[in-house]
Every structure is written in C-alpha cells, then in structure tokens.
A and B are shown apart, each in its own frame.
Chain A
Amino acid sequence: EADIYQTPRYLVIGTGKKITLECSQTMGHDKMYWYQQDPGMELHLIHYSYGVNSTEKGDLSSESTVSRIRTEHFPLTLESARPSHTSQYLCASSAGQKLFFGSGTQLSVL
C-alpha cells in the first residue's frame, strides 16, 4: 500500500482563519494532486503539481493555494476560510497514471 499522509484528519475552524492542510508522500512521486469532494459526489481537481516548483490550478475554481518546495510535500493553504470551503480534501500522488490517495482531511468552517 502507498505511503501518503494527510493531516489533520478532521478540522473545525471559524470563518476568517488561515489554515494549511498537510500532505506528504514517501514514494518519491513527482506528480501530486489535491481533490475536493463533497459527500456522495464526484472528485474535483483543484490543484496539481508535476514536480518541485511546478503547480497548476485544476478544473474547480478554488481560493486555496499550494506550494511544492520539496518532492515529498504538497501543502494546501486557505488564507481566509469560509463556510463554503466545508468539504473533504483528498491529496494524491501518482507513478505513471495510478493514483494513490491519502485518507483525506474533513474540513468544517463555522
């Protein structure tokens, strides 16, 4: 099984707070992704990276930002959280086109 870790697993915060969702993988994969998923719905790509210092926006407009300073680390930051950001955030990495997902962060913004 793949080694990709997301923290925190659950996060409840107030509106206006700045938050960073962490994602790390130990497989040396160049490609990493952030997906957003609401309950029972499809996954929407919000950011992806093909390697260090490479980041791109995905298909779903997002107010979040990402960075890729190291191969293994791909954090996602929300500068000012809002209730509309409440969702599950899934991080993934890939070798070839096979995706390995972390366990996700369930974010609730009050």
Chain B
Amino acid sequence: GQQVMQIPQYQHVQEGEDFTTYCNSSTTLSNIQWYKQRPGGHPVFLIQLVKSGEVKKQKRLTFQFGEAKKNSSLHITATQTTDVGTYFCVKGSTLGRLYFGRGTQLTVWP
C-alpha cells in the first residue's frame, strides 16, 4: 500500500506564482526526503528532513517537516520555468527501504 500520500497530483501555475506540494503519512516518520525529476530525467535528491518542526531553505525552495513528523511540505516562491518537473517526497524506514509518494507534477506557464 501507499506509504505516503502526496497532493496535489498536478499543479499548473503562471511563472512568478508560488507553488506548494504536501506529503502526509499515517505513521510517524523517522525522516523525509524530497526529490525532483525533470521531464525525461531521473530523480535527483533535494533535501532530507529529520527533526520535528524543521525548516530548511534552498534559494526559492522552502522545506518543512511537521511538528508531529507525519507531514512535510515543499514551497517554491516565484516559480520559474526551470522549476518544471515532478517533485517526490520519500519516506525512509528502519530497514533502510525508501518509499516514494506519487509525486506532484508542476507545470509553469511563461
């Protein structure tokens, strides 16, 4: 079954608008990772969050881990056409296996 729920599945924005994708789990997460996959490409690691309430920023990207460690979000400020792609949240397990969410496909109109 699906380990993490990710919404929305698709998001279309005008360049310059903000974008947020959400990841939710029914169980407490030891950590959460985020990956980006460009069209035709392979997933590339963006960040890992470990601590409750953790917030990390990478330029226009802000990653947040919920206080209860059951949800996470990725927010992009002022999207650009280079942000196009699918963003996946990934749940880790104590056995070292990683479970991908369904991903959010972001389209940015110029």
Contact = CB atoms under 8 A, between A and B. Distances in A.
Interface of A: 31, 33, 35, 40-43, 45, 48, 50, 59, 90, 94, 97-104
Contacts of B78: none
A99 B45 contact: yes
A99 B102 contact: no
A103 B42 contact: yes
* Prevailing SS type, chain A contact patch: strand
Contacts of A42: 88, 100-103
A104 B31 CA distance: 26
Nearest to B90: A99
Contact of B43 (A31, A43, A97): A43
A101 to B, nearest CB: 4
Interface of B: 31, 33, 35, 41-45, 48, 86, 88, 90, 92, 96-103, 105
12 contacts: A40-B105, A41-B102, A41-B103, A42-B103, A48-B97, A90-B43, A94-B96, A98-B33, A98-B45, A101-B42, A103-B41, A104-B42
Contacts of B98: 33, 45, 94, 97, 99
Nearest to B41: A103
Nearest to A6: B42
A22 to B, nearest CB: 16
B88 A97 contact: no
B103 A98 contact: no
A97 B101 contact: no
A76 B57 CA distance: 38
B44 A101 contact: yes
Contact of B35 (A31, A40, A99, A104): A99
Given A42-B100, A45-B97, A97 B42 contact: no
A50 B45 contact: no
Nearest to B6: A42
Contacts of B102: 41-42
A59 B99 CA distance: 9
B31 to A, nearest CB: 7
